[in-house]
């Protein structure tokens, strides 16, 4: 059969349209089941006791009074887990403190009881004897030689001797000769930038329902970005074989990277094992903010040389990221990505991974990249404006393109950065007039994107409709996208396909929903699974017609005799083939398993207009436009939604969001009142322009789009605010008190 | 937990008298949040919404008596209140979201005793008076005297606010309330300022009340600010003096919501802006 579609440009019938999302009705009517919506007979309530100290040695935990309380069915501490394998040791420590409590909110013990009231009372009866230790929450403070030390002996050999043990690792990227490059510049700008830790701010708190039978078989219902990861991690921690633990993903109310690890899940399983009853755990908002992954706070030095024509002669950045209480801040990705939009002869970045007494950083949408982009894009903007140059023209002059050796090593294939910059330059937004106290900023951003392990199973039902089973929670409309790609490939209508998220017992390993990978990688596997089903259907038709299977084509949802047999038999539709499948060899399915490669990087340019009130320092976002390369937009509405969502989160990061710690190391704003994500009225309608520079690594040209969109906005807004306020803002968030103080100091 | 919904003030007072740990429920926008977040575990909740008059806005002595369970949305839709006390109406309308507006009340905002309560500086500027009922009978207390500090009120055990009286509006008078928040809604005042003033026919201030919120442990009535503009037209010089008086009177703290310097400065900025709006309203201009 002829399935090679490379010969002619593909004309899409379903891909690129905007059908209703298949999960839409469930979500607007409340029928969708999220993490906290599941119940089981005999279910207990699980609760966690959390550290009130930023840093303390746990000398003794006495749970006897809690265990004696009527209605308490299990109490768990770190001791119940025993020794766990090395690869999950840090995750274990984060889920339940061992020798030390390392941050405000660190889990110390857990109970399962017959009601929330009893569980609450039981937590009060747990006695913990703490030896409070000095703490440190600021990245620069933590690097000082006399800073309180969190861990001994975790420092890597990359760190020069004499530095604090809190400095875990040093990494370096780049090429060329920085000093030689700087010498060619007409101006060298040096600045230090700072960003605050921000939380992913998903609306749905972490929740799960665990059961562990006496036979050693477990089931877990959980809100997560990757139930296969949950299975593997929990199995390792609890000493189970992976096949004995079945994990089902609930609907998910946002994750943005923050649900790519486990917090409650191993504890819930241990409580279930100890109590012999199902245990449900749901975090409060305060627990989410105190104990789940924010991203790193950072301190970044930038040194950039530029000619008066706008050519960057050298770019250097030293990035210090604290990733909370264990190694693993996203500093390397910041160091790799910050200069990635530019074609530079001389570029170097140095990243320092630092630990502090804060919750362990989790992934947050393009982890590490927005902060680096804030620093570097701010510096480029300041240089360009200083020379009186157009900041878009300067970026175009320096833009990376096909064949550019990137700042992190690889040489780019076809990329879309210049297309986004040219679209920005041609857009009416760029030339719209500005009023008093108003400013416009632009910035570019880059993200790597990812592929990874992926399995898809596509089944043809006896009536010829199609079900797609995939293993990645649908966090951004991916069921719609998979349905569309399956329908496109099979040549059948969208409504003839239904995509479900299968549990861990139904498919092989699937990488977490992260790295903007799902539309790319699961899409690729869906297309390949559909092709495999098509091949089988062509074979069945060939068998019925008594001709060679190579002489059958698939077109418009039907097998058709081709070549010398063309027209000899009427086409057989998918429904006709399915109806007789039992007589031609049995049920028909296609499947595909792959470690997907070739994800294809994505670039964006953002443009922001703001107005700053010079008397209060308050910033209003007046207008915002996102220009981004999507490769191929499968469902353009969701692509636009990803662009807008990243911009909205970045605007929050730029203006008001921050983790605020007191002198005591306690988080001051563990709630959505004082941890200020933008509300709808804070934002204008965010305009979007989708560019489509096909990714050669995907059959339809798809690139991931979910993460790139949060990379430019911190800098775009900072550049706009700096222009409007007449003073360069180098620290985030640009909260009104900070902006007002800068205006007053500058004026 | 027990729930009672008495139909008379007397029944409510008697029910509350028998249960020292009871909580009064009107709109519930503070109480239910505290319940759900497990900050309180009350034995008894007394819902006062079914008591006659609690959900009414009635004319009285040229002013308006607002029942304790009247919601922000109802206040916002009341033509008479909007005409006479637009500043109070706007302040009430700033509390919470659209959904919260269907429930939130002036009396609840006052009894919550948050220094940052939006309606309180507006009510204080307006000279509002709370009617309090309790085991010892009924008493009237100026709104300024109800809060005693964060979370503390002058209400004795068993007492609750039954209504709030906004007095008759004097001729050539206007009021306004402005707050500063980092966002555009769903937020809590970092600084709030209510201004109520009257003008003579030449536009000179004949009476003024200026109240600040969120810059001290309770609402502050700034006499010096009123004095600064008395007898003067609201020109640049007078407004600057007003702003300076407010900045000086503010006693804020540094916290997660703002610095001392920021709050002092913005107290003056808001006072100036609110006075301009109140002055325009006093002249009968749309503002």
The angle that helices A713-725 and A636-655 make with each other, rounded to 10 degrees, is: 50
Residues A235 and A265 sit within 8 Å (Cβ to Cβ): no
For chain A, which domains are there?
43-133+206-282 (3.90.1170.50), 297-449+600-746 (3.30.365.10), 451-595 (3.30.365.10)
**Is the pLDDT confidence value at A8 over 70?**
no
Q: Name chain B contacts of A616, Cβ cutoff 8 Å.
A: 180, 266, 269
Task: Tell me which of A567 and A250 has the higher pLDDT.
Answer: A250
Residue B159 within any structural domain of the chain: yes
pLDDT band at A2; cut points 50, 70, 90: very low
E strands, A461-522, are: 466-470, 497-501
- Has residue B138 been placed in a domain? yes
What is the distance between the alpha carbons of residues B229 and B78, in angstroms, rounded to a whole number? 31
CATH number, domain at B152?
A: 3.30.465.10
Whole domain around residue B262: which residue ranges?
A: 173-282
- The number of C-beta contacts closer than 8 angstroms across A and B is 54
Q: What is the pLDDT of residues A192-246, one digit of tens each?
A: 999 999 999 999 999 999 999 889 999 999 999 999 999 999 999 999 999 999 9
The model carries a pTM of 0.96
Strands A438-447 and A347-354: unpaired
Average pLDDT over residues A515-539: 98
Instruction: Please give the tally of structural domains in chain B.
Output: 2
Rounded to a whole number of angstroms, the CA Rg of chain B reads: 19
Residue A7 has pLDDT above 80, yes or no: no
DSSP string, A7-76: SS----SSTT--PPPTTHHHHHHT-S--GGG---TT-EEEEEEE-SSSSEEEEEEE-HHHHHSTTEEEEE
CB-based contact, B244 to chain A, within 8 Å? no
Q: Strand A107-113 and strand A72-77: pairing?
A: antiparallel
Report whether pLDDT(A428) > 90: yes
A377: tokens are: 């894009």
User: Last residue of some domain: B151, B166, B181?
Assistant: B166
In angstroms, rounded to a whole number, what is the distance separating the alpha carbons of residues A423 and A598?
A: 25
Q: Find the CB nearest B184 among A679, A735, A741.
A: A679
**What residues 119-178 of chain B have any CB closer than 8 A to a CB of chain A?**
none
Burial class (CB in 10 A: 0-12, 13-18, 19+), A705: buried
Same domain, B62 and B161: yes
Whether the CB of B34 is below 8 Å from some CB of chain A: the reply is: no
With a pLDDT cut of 90, the percent of chain A lying above it is: 97
The answer to whether B180 contacts A736, with C-beta atoms less than 8 Å apart, is yes
Residues in B touching A660 (Cβ below 8 Å): 256
- CB-nearest to A735 from B41, B182, B185 is B182
Name the residue with tokens 């809604």: B185
Compute chain A's Rg from CA coordinates. 27
B256 and A674: CB-CB below 8 Å?
yes
Same domain, B218 and B264: yes
Q: Does B202 contact A at CB distance below 8 Å?
A: no
Chain A contact for B21 (CB, 8 A cutoff): no
**pLDDT tens per residue across span A665-692:** 999 999 999 999 999 999 999 999 999 9
**Going by DSSP bridges, is the β-strand pair A279-282/A44-50 parallel, antiparallel, or unpaired?**
parallel
* Closest CA of chain B from A444, distance in Å: 26
Is A524 exposed, middle or buried, given 0-12, 13-18 or 19+ CB atoms closer than 10 A? Answer: buried
Which of A620, A673, A679 shows the shortest C-beta gap to B188?
A673
Q: Given B166, B181, B206, which residue is the final one in a domain?
A: B166
Of A484, A467, A694, nearest to A587 (Cα)?
A: A467
What is the C-alpha to C-alpha distance for residues A531 and A490, in angstroms, rounded to an integer? 8
pLDDT digits (tens, 9 = 90+) for A327-349: 999 999 999 999 999 999 999 99
pLDDT of residue A509: 98
Q: What is the ipTM of this complex?
A: 0.95
Same domain, B205 and B259: yes
Cβ-based neighbours of A152, under 8 Å, separated by 6 or more: A165
Q: Are strands A347-354 and A312-322 parallel, antiparallel or unpaired?
A: parallel
Q: Which of B166, B198, B213 is the last residue of a domain?
A: B166
Q: In whole angstroms, what is the distance from residue A205 CA to residue A623 CA? A: 31
State the nearest Cα–Cα gap between B97 and chain A, in angstroms.
11
What are the chain B neighbours of A117 within 8 Å (beta carbons)?
41
What's the rounded Cα separation, in Å, for the pair A496 and A167? 55
Q: Cα A718 from chain centroid? A: 23
Pair (B147, B238) in one structural domain: no
Q: Using CA coordinates, name the residue in chain A closest to B254.
A: A737
Measured between alpha carbons, how far is residue A458 from residues A335, A482, A498, A526, A597 in Å?
A: 40, 11, 10, 7, 21
Q: Is the pLDDT of residue A5 over 60?
A: no
10-residue mean pLDDT series, chain B (287 residues) = 95 93 94 91 95 97 98 98 98 94 97 97 98 97 98 96 98 98 94 98 97 98 98 98 98 94 98 98 87
Q: Are residues B181 and B100 in the same domain?
A: no
- Given a cut of 60, whether residue A3 has pLDDT beyond it is no
Q: Is B114 within the bounds of a domain?
A: yes
Q: pLDDT digits over A62-83, tens only?
A: 999 999 999 999 999 999 999 9
Q: Each residue of A589-634: pLDDT tens digit? A: 999 999 999 999 999 999 999 999 999 999 999 999 999 999 999 9
Q: What is the pLDDT of residues B172-208, one digit of tens each?
A: 999 999 999 999 999 999 999 999 999 999 999 999 9
Taking CB atoms and an 8 Å cutoff, what residues of chain A touch B37?
284
In a domain, B95, yes or no: yes
Interface test with B, best of A613, A616, A659 (most B CBs within 10 A): A616
Q: Say if CB A580 and CB A683 are below 8 A apart.
A: no
> Given CB atoms, is A713 within the 8 Å cutoff of chain B?
no
Give the confidence band of A1 by pLDDT, cuts at 50, 70, 90.
very low
Same domain? B235 vs B196: yes
Let me know if residue B30 belongs to a domain: no
In terms of domains, do B91 and B146 share one?
yes
Give the CATH number, domain containing residue B203: 3.30.390.50
Distance of CA A66 to the CA centre of its chain: 39
pLDDT tens digits, residue range A254-285? 999 999 999 999 999 999 999 999 999 999 99
In DSSP terms, A378 is beta-bridged to none
- The CA distance from B51 to the nearest CA of chain A, in Å, is 32
B185 touches chain A (CB under 8 A): yes
Question: What integer best gives the mean pLDDT of chain A?
Answer: 97
């Amino acid at each position: 059969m002829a399935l090679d579609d490379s010969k002619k440009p593909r004309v899409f019938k379903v891909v690129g349209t905007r059908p209703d999302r298949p999960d839409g009705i469930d979500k607007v009517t409340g029928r969708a089941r999220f993490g906290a919506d599941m119940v089981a007979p005999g279910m207990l309530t699980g609760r966690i006791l959390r550290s009130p100290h930023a840093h303390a040695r746990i000398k003794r935990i006495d749970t006897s009074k809690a265990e004696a309380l009527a209605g308490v069915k299990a109490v768990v501490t770190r001791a119940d887990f025993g020794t766990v394998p090395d690869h999950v040791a840090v995750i274990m420590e984060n889920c339940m403190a061992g020798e030390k409590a390392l941050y405000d909110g660190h889990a110390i013990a857990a109970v399962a009881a017959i009601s929330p009231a009893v569980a609450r009372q039981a937590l009060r009866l747990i006695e913990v004897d703490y030896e409070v230790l000095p703490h440190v929450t600021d990245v620069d403070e933590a690097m000082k030689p006399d800073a309180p030390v969190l861990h001994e002996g975790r420092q890597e050999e990359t760190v020069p001797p004499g530095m604090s043990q809190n400095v875990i690792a040093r990494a370096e990227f780049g090429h060329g000769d920085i000093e030689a490059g700087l010498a060619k510049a007409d101006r060298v700008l040096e600045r230090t930038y700072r960003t605050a830790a921000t939380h992913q701010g998903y609306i749905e708190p972490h929740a799960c329902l665990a059961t562990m039978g006496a036979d050693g078989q477990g089931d877990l219902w959980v809100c997560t970005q990757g139930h296969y990861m949950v299975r593997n991690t929990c199995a390792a921690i609890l000493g189970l074989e992976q096949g004995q633990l079945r994990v089902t993903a609930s609907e998910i109310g946002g994750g943005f990277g923050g649900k790519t690890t486990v917090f409650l899940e191993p504890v819930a399983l241990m409580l279930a094992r100890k109590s012999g009853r199902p245990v449900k755990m749901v975090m409060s908002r305060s627990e989410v903010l105190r104990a789940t992954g924010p991203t790193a706070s950072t301190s970044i030095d930038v040194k950039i040389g530029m000619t008066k024509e706008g050519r960057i002669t050298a770019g250097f950045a030293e990035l210090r990221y604290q990733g909370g209480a264990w190694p693993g801040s996203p500093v390397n990705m910041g160091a790799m990505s910050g200069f990635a939009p530019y074609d530079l002869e001389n570029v170097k970045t140095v990243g320092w991974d630092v630990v502090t007494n804060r919750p362990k950083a989790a992934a947050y949408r393009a982890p590490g990249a927005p902060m680096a982009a804030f620093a570097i894009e701010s510096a480029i903007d300041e240089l360009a404006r200083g020379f009186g140059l157009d900041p878009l023209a300067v970026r175009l002059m320096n833009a990376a393109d096909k064949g550019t050796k990137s700042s992190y090593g690889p040489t780019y294939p076809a990329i879309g950065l210049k297309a986004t910059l040219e679209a920005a330059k041609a857009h009416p937004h760029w030339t719209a007039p500005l009023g008093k106290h108003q400013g416009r900023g632009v910035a570019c951003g880059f993200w790597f994107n990812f592929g990874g392990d992926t399995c898809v199973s596509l089944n043809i039902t006896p009536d010829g409709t199609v079900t797609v089973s995939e293993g990645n929670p649908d966090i951004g409309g991916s069921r719609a996208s998979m349905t569309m790609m399956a329908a496109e490939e099979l040549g059948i209508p969208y409504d003839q396909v239904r995509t479900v998220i299968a549990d861990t017992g139904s498919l092989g390993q699937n990488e977490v929903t992260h790295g903007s990978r799902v539309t790319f990688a699961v899409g690729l596997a869906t297309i390949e699974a559909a092709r495999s089903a098509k091949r089988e259907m062509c074979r069945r038709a060939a068998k019925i017609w008594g001709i060679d299977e190579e002489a059958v084509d698939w077109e418009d949802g039907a097998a058709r005799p081709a070549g010398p047999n063309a027209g000899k038999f009427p086409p057989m539709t998918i429904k006709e083939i399915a109806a007789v499948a039992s007589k031609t060899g049995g049920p028909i399915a296609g499947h595909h398993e792959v470690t997907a490669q070739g994800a294809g990087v994505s670039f964006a340019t953002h443009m922001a207009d703001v107005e700053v009130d010079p008397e209060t320092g308050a910033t209003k976002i007046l207008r915002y436009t996102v220009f981004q390369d999507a490769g191929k937009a499968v469902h353009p509405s969701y692509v636009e939604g990803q662009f807008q969502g990243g911009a909205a989160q970045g605007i929050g990061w730029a203006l008001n969001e921050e983790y605020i710690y007191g002198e005591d190391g306690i988080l001051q704003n563990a709630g959505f009142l004082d941890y200020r994500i933008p509300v709808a009225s804070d934002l204008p309608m965010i305009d979007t322009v989708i560019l489509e520079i096909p990714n050669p690594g995907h059959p339809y040209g798809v690139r991931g789009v979910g993460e790139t969109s949060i990379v430019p906005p911190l800098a775009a807004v900072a550049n706009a605010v700096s222009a409007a306020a007449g003073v360069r803002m180098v620290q985030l968030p640009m909260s009104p008190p900070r902006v007002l103080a800068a205006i007053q100091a500058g004026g | 937990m027990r729930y009672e919904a008495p139909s008379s003030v007397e029944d409510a007072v008697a029910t509350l008298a028998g249960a020292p740990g009871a909580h009064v429920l009107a709109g519930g926008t503070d109480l239910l949040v505290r319940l759900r977040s497990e900050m309180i575990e009350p034995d008894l909740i007394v819902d006062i919404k079914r008591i006659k008059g609690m959900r009414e806005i009635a004319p009285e002595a040229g002013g308006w008596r607002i029942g304790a369970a009247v919601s922000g949305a109802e206040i916002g839709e009341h033509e008479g209140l909007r005409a006479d006390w637009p500043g109070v109406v706007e302040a009430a309308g700033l509390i919470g979201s659209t959904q919260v507006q269907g429930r939130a009340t002036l009396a609840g905002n006052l009894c919550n005793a948050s220094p940052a309560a939006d309606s309180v500086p507006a009510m204080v500027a307006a000279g509002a008076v709370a009617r309090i009922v309790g085991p010892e009978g009924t008493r009237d207390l100026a709104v300024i005297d109800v809060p005693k500090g964060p979370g503390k009120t002058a209400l004795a055990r068993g007492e609750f606010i039954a209504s709030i009286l906004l007095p008759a509006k004097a001729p050539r008078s206007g009021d306004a309330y402005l707050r500063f928040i980092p966002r555009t809604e769903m937020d809590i005042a970092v600084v709030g300022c209510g201004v109520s003033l009257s003008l003579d026919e030449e536009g000179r201030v004949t009476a003024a009340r200026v109240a600040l919120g969120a810059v001290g442990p309770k609402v502050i009535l700034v006499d010096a600010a009123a004095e600064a503009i008395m007898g003067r037209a609201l020109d640049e010089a007078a407004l600057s003096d007003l702003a300076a008086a407010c900045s000086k009177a503010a006693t804020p703290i540094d916290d997660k919501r703002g610095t001392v310097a920021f709050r002092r400065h913005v107290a003056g900025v808001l006072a100036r802006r609110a006075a301009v709006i109140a002055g325009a309203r006093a002249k009968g201009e749309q503002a």
